[in-house]
């Protein structure tokens, strides 16, 4: 459809925001609403009230003298009442290029009396410059509750208002896809009513509800978005359940072999989770299961048990890990566990030599390696298995959907077990992994003492070093870590190298200090890790390469430098490297000055060691987009809904979707299926529903 007011330039700006169709535009929600019903002339204004005026700029200037540093921008406005309003914006030097005498502007804010100037004023009002074009439909922008949109390029909130209003005026109401039976029962308004009130709320609508996104119209649109997402996922789950797969046999011999492997008595949670996995594996359909658990809860051991089931049934197992360090770590762990059982464990990574790769590929293809661990190298075209029965993906969120599919295709409908290194908040798990069944290990192995976490500032570092020395003298080991965000691994490496020199030469010349970072050749990394594991190295200075998987129970101190710069999940993960033995462990967070958000993060960590709680806080503090960092793969794009704000609507939609799939009216089901088939992929950017 042609939208009035959208030429090629605007179309490109809209496109860049992901708005390429009329439908996209219609569900582009305002991010807040303003009550501009109280429109007055300047002469009518009274101090203390919130009001809107439409007035002309008379003077506008960036304040000179000392206040220039504040970027104080002052303007006076006047209107037909001839009274004058003084308006101030601080830190707003940019306004010098925006506001010019003669312009007509809508101002919305709190009226004050400026006793210094002896005049009515507003400080930091919302403002909108009204063009002639706007004059025509001024009624859209003032005198009502007004939607405020995030700008897209040069498309301002006003332009959005006009475009969307135009579309709503001219469009024939689109059909409502949401099943009528659900709409009736939940008393949701129909689509067209909902869309209109989302953008131009009816007069009596409560502003607080609007800004909380809890009007019936908003609830309906949020619910609908979640509903289709969850329904699509439910359809996927149920069709996967009908696919035929491998039915692994779980007999006494397999149980005996598992017992033989186990280095300790599994916790009750590990037992329960294994039972869930084993039941899946025994079914003649492919397993699709997510294994969640806090750092150190013993997920790897459960994965090993599952692997034994597959291997004893004559199948191979492959495990995909996101980094070389982690792959190597898993390789040693499993080789060690499986030695007694006579299984062959293989490692394949990007830094394997050509000869090693060729050999490993041959062994895999001939079925001579039972358990293969690897990085992306495992996904290469020419890596073939003789009989892959179980595919394990560690840290799924680092892999995209396509990589997951490619991995799974190495076998014929193998069972799939996905593991996460850090707990994921339930809402996010439902959105991201909604097509998987979930098992949770909610208990740590016995004898673990909760880690004591302390926050210190950089000027207290000497205290940290003396504490560290005491621990080393008591026979323990320690990590000193420079966390790196993806782009700044080099910076972190430099900081770690510098600290390494400082600690090894100045602070602890008498102790054995080691250095580990991502750029080291794989062999050197391994040598450094081995030396730390054997207890020869007492202090390991490192970048975040040790973030996941490292397991040295004698290490009891984790010092994290520049802790304010990193996300909660990452800090929690790092902290999980200690507290793995019987001794009391400590985590020391060293920071510079903190802003509000980083203070909140640090406080959360000091107060809690519960990974699930921390993950929830992380999601709240950083928002869904940032939770896993910017490279999050496979996150569906939500438009109206927000998984932090709308968690309970997500739960509702999930229940409704699965009930509907199980027992919705037939005709409605047929239409719903048709709807997800045609809309799902575009809507959520996820793989197609079967």
Name the residues that contact ligand ADP, by CB under 6 A.
264-267, 270, 293, 295-301, 445, 551, 580
293 binds, among Mg ion, ligand ADP, none (CB under 5 to 8 A by kind): ligand ADP
Residue with tokens 């740590």: 444
Residue 344 Cβ vs ligand ADP, minimum distance, rounded to whole Å: 21
What's the closest the beta carbon of residue 273 comes to Mg ion, in angstroms?
14
CB of 259 to Mg ion, least distance (A): 21
What string marks each residue from 297 to 316 as x (binds Mg ion by CB under 5 A) or -? ---x----------------
Residues 6+ apart with CB under 8 A from 615: 422, 423, 424, 425, 568, 569, 572
Nearest alpha carbon to residue 321 among 360, 347, 293: 347
Residue 434 binding result from Mg ion, ligand ADP, none, given CB thresholds of 5 to 8 Å by partner type: none
Site for Mg ion in 373-432 (CB under 5 A): none
SS3 661: helix
Q: Which does 580 bind (CB under 5 to 8 A by kind): Mg ion, ligand ADP, none?
A: ligand ADP
Q: Which is nearer to Mg ion, 74 or 394 (CB)?
A: 394
Which residue number, 267 or 300, has a Cβ lying nearer to Mg ion?
300
Of residues 603, 609, 607, 617, the one with CA closest to residue 578 = 609
Q: CB-wise, 300 or 591, nearer to Mg ion? A: 300
Residue nearest to Mg ion (CB): 300
With CB under 5 to 8 Å by kind, the binding choice for 130 among ligand ADP, Mg ion, none is none
CB nearer to ligand ADP: give 419 or 480. 419
Minimum distance between the CB of residue 581 and ligand ADP, rounded to whole angstroms? 8
- Other C-beta atoms lying within 10 Å of the C-beta of residue 211: 16
Q: Which two tokens stand for residue 112?
A: 């004050």
Q: Is 448 exposed, middle or buried (0-12, 13-18, 19+ CB in 10 A)?
A: middle
The one of Mg ion, ligand ADP, none whose footprint includes residue 298, by CB under 5 to 8 A per kind, is ligand ADP
624 binds, among ligand ADP, Mg ion, none (CB under 5 to 8 A by kind): none
The span from the CA of 179 to the CA of 234, in Å, is 16
3-class DSSP state for residue 392?
A: strand
Long-range contacts of 640-643 (CB under 8 A, 24+ apart): 640/27, 640/29, 640/198, 640/218, 640/221, 640/222, 640/225, 641/221, 641/222, 641/225, 641/226, 642/213, 642/222, 643/427, 643/428, 643/431, 643/619
- How many residues are present in the chain? 690
Of residues 281 through 300, those in contact with Mg ion by CB under 5 A are 300
Q: Which does 295 bind (CB under 5 to 8 A by kind): ligand ADP, Mg ion, none?
A: ligand ADP
Residues 451-490 that bind Mg ion (CB under 5 A): none
Could you tell me the smallest distance in angstroms from the CB atom of residue 299 to Mg ion? 6
Using rule CB under 5 A, residue 270 touches Mg ion: no
Kindly write down the DSSP assignment for every residue of 210-237, as one continuous string: HHTT-SHHHHHHHHHHHHHHHHHHHHHH
Structural Rg of the chain based on CA atoms:
30
Site string for Mg ion, 621-640 (x = CB under 5 A): --------------------
C-beta closer to Mg ion: residue 391 or 621: 391
Q: Which does 445 bind (CB under 5 to 8 A by kind): ligand ADP, Mg ion, none?
A: ligand ADP
Q: Which helix (H) or strand (E) holds 359?
A: helix 354-366
Least separation in angstroms between residue 441's CB and ligand ADP is 7
CA atoms within 13 A on the CB side of 73: 16
Whose tokens are 């909130």? That residue is 157
Report which secondary-structure segment, H or E, holds 281.
helix 268-282
CB of 611 vs Mg ion, minimal distance in Å = 13
Q: In terms of CB distance, is 300 or 352 closer to Mg ion?
A: 300
Query: Of the two residues 201 and 266, which places its CB atom closer to ligand ADP in the complex?
Result: 266
Instruction: Give the residue with the Cβ less far from ligand ADP, 262 or 461.
Output: 262
User: Cβ closer to Mg ion: 125 or 296?
Assistant: 296
Residue 425's binding partner, choosing from ligand ADP, Mg ion, none, with beta-carbon cut-off 5 to 8 A by kind?
A: none
**Closest approach of Cβ 267 to ligand ADP, in Å?**
5
Distances (CA, A) of 278 to 338, 437, 667: 19, 13, 37
Please state the closest distance from residue 230 (CB atom) to ligand ADP, in A.
28
In the bound state with ligand ADP, the residue whose beta carbon lies nearer, of 134 and 276, is 276
Q: Which residue, 295 or 563, has its beta carbon nearer to ligand ADP?
A: 295
Give residues with Cβ within 8 angstroms of 640, minimum separation 6.
Answer: 27, 29, 198, 218, 221, 222, 225
Task: In angstroms, give the least distance from the CB of 353 to Mg ion.
Answer: 27
Return the SS3 of 189: coil
Lookup result for tokens 């908040």 = 425
Residue 296 binds which one of ligand ADP, Mg ion, none, with CB within 5 to 8 A depending on kind?
A: ligand ADP
Residue showing the smallest CB distance to ligand ADP in the complex: 298
Residue 395: count of CB within 10 angstroms of its CB = 19
C-beta closer to ligand ADP: residue 267 or 543: 267
Whole-number minimum distance, CB 448 to Mg ion, in Å? 15
Site for Mg ion (CB under 5 A): how many residues? 1
Look at residue 254 and give the partner it binds from Mg ion, ligand ADP, none, a contact being a CB closer than 5 to 8 Å depending on partner kind.
none
CA–CA dist 572, 297 (Å, integer): 13
Nearer to Mg ion, 392 or 496 (CB): 392
C-beta separation of 571 from 618 below 8 A? no
Sole residue written with tokens 């999940």:
569
* Binding region for Mg ion (CB under 5 A): 300
């Amino acid at each position: 459809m042609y939208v009035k007011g959208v030429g090629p330039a605007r179309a490109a700006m809209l496109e860049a925001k992901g708005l390429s169709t009329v439908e996209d535009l219609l569900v582009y929600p305002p991010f807040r609403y303003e009550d501009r019903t109280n429109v007055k002339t300047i002469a009518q204004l009274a101090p203390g009230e919130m009001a809107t005026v439409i007035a002309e700029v008379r003077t506008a200037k960036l304040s000179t003298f000392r206040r220039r540093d504040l970027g104080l921008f002052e303007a006076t406005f006047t209107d037909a009442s001839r009274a004058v309003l003084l308006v101030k914006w601080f830190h707003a030097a940019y306004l010098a290029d925006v506001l010019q005498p003669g312009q007509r502007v809508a101002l919305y804010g709190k009226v004050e009396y400026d006793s210094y100037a002896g005049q009515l004023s507003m400080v930091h009002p919302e403002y909108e410059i009204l063009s002639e074009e706007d004059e025509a439909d001024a009624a859209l922008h003032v005198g009502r509750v007004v939607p405020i949109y995030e700008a897209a390029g040069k498309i301002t909130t006003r332009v959005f208002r006009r475009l969307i209003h135009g579309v709503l005026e001219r469009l024939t109401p689109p059909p409502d896809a949401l099943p009528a039976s659900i709409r009736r029962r939940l008393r949701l308004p129909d689509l067209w009513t909902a869309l209109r009130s989302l953008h131009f709320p009816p007069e009596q609508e409560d502003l607080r509800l609007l800004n909380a996104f809890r009007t019936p119209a908003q609830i309906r649109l949020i619910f609908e978005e979640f509903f289709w997402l969850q329904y699509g996922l439910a359809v996927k789950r149920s069709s996967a359940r009908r696919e035929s797969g491998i039915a692994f046999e779980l007999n006494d011999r397999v149980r005996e072999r598992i017992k033989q492997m186990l280095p300790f008595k599994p916790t009750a949670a590990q037992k329960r989770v294994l039972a869930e996995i084993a039941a899946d594996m025994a079914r003649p359909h492919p397993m699709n299961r997510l294994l969640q658990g806090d750092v150190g809860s013993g997920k790897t051991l459960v994965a090993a048990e599952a692997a034994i089931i597959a291997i004893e049934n004559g199948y191979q197992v492959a495990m995909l890990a996101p980094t070389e360090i982690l792959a190597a770590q898993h390789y040693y762990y499993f080789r060690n566990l499986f030695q007694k059982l006579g299984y062959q464990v293989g490692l394949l990574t990007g830094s394997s030599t050509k000869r090693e790769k060729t050999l490993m590929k041959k062994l895999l293809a001939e079925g001579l390696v039972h358990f293969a661990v690897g990085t992306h190298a495992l996904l290469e075209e020419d890596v073939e298995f003789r009989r892959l029965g179980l595919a394990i993906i560690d840290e799924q969120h680092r892999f995209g959907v396509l990589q997951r599919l490619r991995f799974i295709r190495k076998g014929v409908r193998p069972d799939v077990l996905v593991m996460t290194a850090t707990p994921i908040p339930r809402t996010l798990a439902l959105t991201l992994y909604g097509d998987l069944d979930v098992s949770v290990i909610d208990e740590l192995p016995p004898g673990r003492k909760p880690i004591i976490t302390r926050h210190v500032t950089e000027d207290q570092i000497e205290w940290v070093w003396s504490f560290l020395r005491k621990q080393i003298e008591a026979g323990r080991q320690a990590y000193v870590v420079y966390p790196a965000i993806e782009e700044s691994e080099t910076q972190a490496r430099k900081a770690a190298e510098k600290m390494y020199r400082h600690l090894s030469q100045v602070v602890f010349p008498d102790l054995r200090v080691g250095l580990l970072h991502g750029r080291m050749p794989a062999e050197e990394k391994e040598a450094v890790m081995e030396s730390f594991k054997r207890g020869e190295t007492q202090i390991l200075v490192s970048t975040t390469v040790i973030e996941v998987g490292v397991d040295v129970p004698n290490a009891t101190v984790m010092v994290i430098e520049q802790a304010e710069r990193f996300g909660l999940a990452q800090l929690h993960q790092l902290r999980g490297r200690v507290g793995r033995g019987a001794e009391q462990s400590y985590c020391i967070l060293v920071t510079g000055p903190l802003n509000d958000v980083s203070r909140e993060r640090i406080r959360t960590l000091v107060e809690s060691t519960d990974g699930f709680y921390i993950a929830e806080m992380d999601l709240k503090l950083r928002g869904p987009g940032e939770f896993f960092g910017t490279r999050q793969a496979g996150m569906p794009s939500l438009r109206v809904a927000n998984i932090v704000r709308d968690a309970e609507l997500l739960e509702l939609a999930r229940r409704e979707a699965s009930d509907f799939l199980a027992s919705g009216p037939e005709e409605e089901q047929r239409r719903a299926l048709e709807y997800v088939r045609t809309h799902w992929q575009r809507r959520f950017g996820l793989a197609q529903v079967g």
